[in-house]
Amino acid sequence: MAEFTPRNPGFAERTRSSFARQGFMSYLGAELTALTPGACEIRLPYRDELSQQHRYFHGGVIGTLADNAGGYAAFTLMGKDDSILTVEFKLNIVAPGEGEFLVARGHVVRAGRTLSVCRSDVFGVDGGVETLCGTAQMTLMRLADRSDGPAD
């Protein structure tokens, strides 16, 4: 995995603050569990409210975590006045999302001036054993000098 130098030394605090302002993350019960320049990890415990018809994690939940892990991986490399948005997102679901919790790990593949490409993997974790359930590739766009939200 490539090494990246963040433009904003306060990247971790700013990323955590943005994550905390996403109502949907707290509604799901997701937690930002690791953050380094160009990489991000998110965890989410199982609840029936997150299930599809077979009681696995819903594909939309897997996709949401994959998207957010990749997006915040890219966000760690933004300048302190930049915002970011997801241009597009492609996810393969390779196994049912099953286990006590999901963990999604995203990383930046290439950080361009305007566009960044990221990947993320999502695992179901049961008794400490991780099983890949989804793998994603996505494109993010930097919005220069655009606030990341009301409290940014």
Binding residues (CB under 8 A) for a second copy: these are 18, 21-24, 26-27, 48-55, 58-61, 63-65, 67-68, 71, 85-95, 109-110, 112, 114-115, 117, 132, 135-137, 139, 141, 148-150, 152
CB of 99 to a second copy, least distance (A): 16
Cα-to-chain-centroid distance, residue 30: 10
* CA–CA separation, 124 and 106 (whole Å): 15
CB 99 within 8 A of CB 124: yes
CB of 41 to a second copy, least distance (A): 16
CB of 51 to a second copy, least distance (A): 4
Q: Which residues contact 114 (CB under 8 A, 6 or more apart)?
A: 141, 142
Collapsed DSSP state (helix, strand, coil) of residue 151 = coil
CB of 150 to a second copy, least distance (A): 8
Q: Specify the residue, 27 or 145, whose C-beta has the smaller distance to a second copy.
A: 27
